Amino acid sequence: MLQKMESIWFDGKLVPWDQAQVHVLTHGLHYGTGVFEGIRTYACPDGTSAVFRLPEHSKRLINSAKILGLDIPYSAEEISKAIIDTLVANKLPEGYIRPLAFAGAGDMGVYPGNNPTHTIIAAWPWGAYLGAEALELGIRVKTSSFARMHVNTLMSKSKAAGNYVNSVLAKMEVKHDGYDEALMLDTNGYVCEATGENFFIVRKGVIKTPPLTAILDGITRDSIITIARDLGYTVEEQLFTRDEVYYADEAFFSGTAAELTPIRELDNRVIGEGHAGPVTKALQEAFFKAAKGHDPRYGHWLTSYTF
């Protein structure tokens, strides 16, 4: 259950949590015309807190809106400041942040016309997305029967609300079958991504991840690739099929919510040793050190605040 906080930033001002409301004829509610971000903030060893890669997330929100043709009346810098203001107002040292911009009420056809664009920022405490034990033991994954959308069907580089109906269908399908998460293929049958995570495999010490052709350009994905190369690993961005996953030595998901979650099984095939492998553990440790301010090499990824 989501923990209610004191305030939500709504169109330029902080309002009480329960008063952050929209009309039932809001265009984004009916047609999915909205864009959002998922961002994490972490408590750091010096007593401050830090938002992980805040400028990149704010910029991606603006770019997602541009792809959808939504006009957000704020700059990326203004969004970043509003996020910090929201965290401070709610006295939240660690948790999850959800900025959202969406077409409001007005015209009710598919075309949003001159409907206003509203922007909100909410934040709340949130632990491991797929469960704390999953970070060590790994999760069970099933290939979904739902393919990731073709690049000319929906815009895969926009973190658009409507795109996630595809994810919801896939997630519901595999959860009903007793799995933790879905792996999705692209329309050509190649491994793509999960319902809200990017995907990696490890084989013979080489890390592979699908190219950006039909997937979201994940900020955590980019962080993992950077950290892996800094640690001396070879990272290849290339297409591969799910049978290559079956005999991989390791596999894991990355994402703001999922952080770095190992995969122990895909389609009832055990991956590697059936738990987080050595490369996954090394990357996981390095990622959390970077995100929580323990590694000065990645200090430029952190936006600090206190309250």
Q: How many helices and strands, by DSSP H and E, does the chain display?
A: 8, 17
Half-sphere exposure of 80 (CA within 13 A, CB side): 18
- Give the β-pairing of 234-237 and 139-143: unpaired
Which long-range contacts (C-beta less than 8 Å, at least 24 apart) are formed by 21-27?
A: 22/104, 22/105, 22/118, 23/104, 23/105, 25/105, 25/108, 26/102, 26/103, 26/104, 26/105, 27/102, 27/103, 27/104, 27/105, 27/106, 27/107, 27/108, 27/112, 27/115
Give me the helix-helix angle, 76-89 and 54-68, nearest 10°.
120
Catalytic residue among 59, 142, 159, 171: 159
Q: Which amino acid type is present at position 280?
A: T
- 81 is annotated as an active-site residue: no
Ramachandran angles phi, psi of 265, nearest 5° = -160, 140
- Residues with a catalytic annotation lie at 159
